[in-house]
Amino acid sequence: MSEPTFRDYLYPPDHPRLAAIRGLDARGYAEAAKTDAFAGPMIHGWAALYPKPFTGVTNDGVLRPGLYPLRPAAAGEEAPAAAMASAARELLAGLTPAQAGRLRYAVDAQEWQSWANPEFMQHDTGLRLDELAPAARELILAVVEASLSRAGYDLVRNLMRINGFLGGLVALPDLMNEYSYNFALYGAPSETEPWGWQLFGHHVALNVLVVGTQLVVSPVFLGAEPDVIDAGPHRGVKVFKERIALARQLMATLPGPLGRKATVFEDMQDPAMPAGRLHAGDERHLAGCFQDNRVIPYEGIPVSAMPAAARGILDRLVDDFIALLPDGPRSARRREIAAHWDETWFCWIGGREAQDAFYFRLQSPVVVMELDHHTGVFLSNETPAPFHMHTVMRTPNGNDYGRALVRQAQGS
């Protein structure tokens, strides 16, 4: 049986889900969403979590020290610090003084933690791309491009284009478009001192910190509804196909008893799930927006128990997650993750057939990686479907936003 396509789940144009918010832009919907039956509970729940002092995600509530020493990157693992700083300086030079002032925050500002992935704008941090002139938008995108790999930048841009495609499909272009994202700078662009940037909006959130030759890209939230563009100038765009195929291949490679042990719930909306395990917006994933201090216990199976074939697939799956990093930092991140394989756990929720929706999490002292298929938000599917997914990547034990490195650089 073939996978369902997103076009099977398009709402009629006059459906209340769409008609009630038609004509609203991000600012208009930011207010209306507070009383929206879908968005309202999420907003109120997340409001209770922000702002709280940053600690970091842990598996047991206790921060593990010494995982992220501040030191020059190893040869071949250096960040593109000069190119990043140059692009950021050009951006600041191309903005008005008022825009530059609104864009900038201290390198350890709490606003780092204000990012979110829904279409409604809960926090108006920095500048909004769709409110800027094209030249200013291009300067912002040049900072993003200088900080990521070519594959990473292309993925981010394609997700932004999918957002615009979705806005067109459901006739909400002012709310969801290619540029409906906020961007902020933290600290002063430098080749030696810590600074960074943040881009966030519907299905795209990146937090990037560079200090000297070290680069941290975390937290990362990348998702899509739908996962393809099948019409218009960007027709043919597809996202996350390789990641999803590798995850299914990994589960297929696990021996039966091991696969069953890795599966913590058989159904994506399993009645056996404890209260609170399913979130209205996050559904099954645990490390999304406003979860900077969450305790996420290890679940499933240790990676050390996997057969060699499965470990090889897992290596490729990790590479797909970290492919957005430039070559040098990607090598450093791969090495950091591999150094903790003996403390890494893998878990799964859902089915294993080609058309099944699923969730998985890979977790260790230095990484959390999640992929979760979701129900519809602007499409009508009431059960999780493969054409709507959220992916999350974090650096637990205190180094999201590069905060462990910033604290060392500041001597705190």
Confidence tier at 412 by pLDDT (50, 70, 90): confident
Q: Mean pLDDT over residues 371-379, rounded? A: 97
Q: Mean pLDDT over residues 139-151, rounded? A: 98
Of the candidate ranges 3-7, 130-134, 156-160, 305-309, the one whose mean pLDDT is the lowest:
3-7
Q: Find the helix packing angle between 308-322 and 327-338, rounded to 10°.
A: 140
Q: Which one has a higher pLDDT value, 355 or 311? A: 311
Confidence tier at 142 by pLDDT (50, 70, 90): very high
1 has a pLDDT exceeding 50: no
**Residue in the block written with tokens 């693992």:** 77
Tell me the one-letter amino acid at 170.
V
Q: What is the pLDDT of residue 3?
A: 62
pLDDT per residue as tens digits for the range 262-293: 999 999 999 999 999 999 999 999 999 999 99
pLDDT per residue as tens digits for the range 185-240: 999 999 999 999 999 999 999 999 999 999 999 999 999 999 999 999 999 999 99
- Strand, helix or coil for residue 170: coil
Contact assessment for residue 288 and residue 115, using Cβ atoms and an 8 Å cutoff: no
% of the chain beyond a pLDDT of 70: 99
- Strand, helix or coil for residue 48: coil
pLDDT per residue as tens digits for the range 26-84: 899 988 899 888 889 899 899 999 999 999 999 999 999 999 999 999 999 999 999 99
Q: What is the pLDDT of residue 2?
A: 60
Q: Taking the C-alpha atoms of 336, 338, 340 and 343 in order, what is their torsion angle to the nearest 10 degrees?
A: 150
Contacts of 215 (CB under 8 A, 6+ apart): 79, 80, 81, 147, 208, 209, 325, 326, 328, 329, 332
Contact assessment for residue 33 and residue 120, using Cβ atoms and an 8 Å cutoff: yes
Q: Mean pLDDT over residues 7-34, rounded? A: 93
pLDDT per residue as tens digits for the range 76-126: 999 999 999 999 999 999 999 999 999 999 999 999 999 999 999 999 999
Q: What is the mean pLDDT of the chain?
A: 96
165 has a pLDDT exceeding 70: yes
Q: What is the pLDDT of residue 348?
A: 98
Contact assessment for residue 86 and residue 146, using Cβ atoms and an 8 Å cutoff: yes
**Residue 134 vs residues 94, 153, 347: alpha-carbon distances, Å:** 12, 18, 44
CA-based radius of gyration for the chain: 20
Of the candidate ranges 3-12, 124-133, 151-160, 360-369, the one whose mean pLDDT is the lowest:
3-12
pLDDT per residue as tens digits for the range 183-197: 999 999 999 999 999
Antiparallel, parallel or unpaired: β 345-350 and 195-201: unpaired
Residue 22, both tokens = 């038609």
